[in-house]
Amino acid sequence: MMRISWIVPVALAVGLGLTAGCGKEEPVEQPPVGQVPGPPGSPLPGPPPGAPGAMPAPGSTSPDKDAALVASGTTVYVNNCSGCHGPTGKTDDPNKPDFTNAAWHASHDDAQVKKYISDGVPPKMPAFKDKLKAEEMDALVAALRSFVKPPQ
């Protein structure tokens, strides 16, 4: 019971940290209801497939499955990573990655991130291959990807 009592406040802190910048967006002009932006047949605006924030390819995963994966990964992050990497994935330590930086995510594919988690990054980051299952590592990668701040 003691373990659960500290997880809830840390999880809330992570959630609050992720939403802290939400109110600072400039209003975007929306098309009238029922209209699709752009000429007929043009693609909808948004990130290209495979980019952070893009919708999954048809048939790959569902948004509900993705949300469950991120939630599971966030629990893994809180329990194993937040002590060194901070509750929001960003620290003041220049030797640690900024998980809120889209450029970092663009330069590290999922396999690389899983390798860092599995094998560690000597001398400071321990290996987690004996502590986390493959499914937990996949969920952790999904949670790390969710830390990216949208472009402003």
pLDDT one-digit tens code per residue, 47-105: 454 555 444 444 444 567 799 999 999 999 999 999 999 999 998 899 999 999 999 99
Q: What pLDDT score was predicted for residue 142?
A: 96
Q: What integer is the mean pLDDT of 7-27?
A: 53
Q: What pLDDT score was predicted for residue 113?
A: 97
* Nearest CA among 151, 143, 150, 152 for reference residue 14: 143
Cα separation, 125 vs 133, in Å, equals 18
Indicate the SS3 state at residue 109: coil
48 with 60: CB under 8 angstroms? no
Indicate the SS3 state at residue 74: helix
- For residue 134, pLDDT beyond 90: yes
- For residue 141, pLDDT beyond 60: yes
Assessment of whether the complete model's pTM goes beyond 0.75: no
Q: What pLDDT score was predicted for residue 58?
A: 42
Q: What pLDDT score was predicted for residue 87?
A: 95
Q: Comparing 129 with 38, which gets the higher pLDDT? A: 129
134-146 and 63-80 helices, crossing angle to 10°: 100
Q: Token digits for 120?
A: 């560690």
- Amino acid identity at 63: P
Q: List the beta bridge partners of residue 70.
A: none
List, in order of start, the domains of the chain with CATH numbers. Answer: 65-152 (1.10.760.10)
For residue 107, the number of C-alpha atoms closer than 13 Å in the C-beta half-sphere is 7
- Amino acid identity at 73: G
Question: What values do phi and psi take at 125, rounded to 5?
Answer: -90, 125
DSSP 37-81: SSSTTPPPSSPPTTSTTPPPPTTT--HHHHHHHHHHHHHHHHHHT
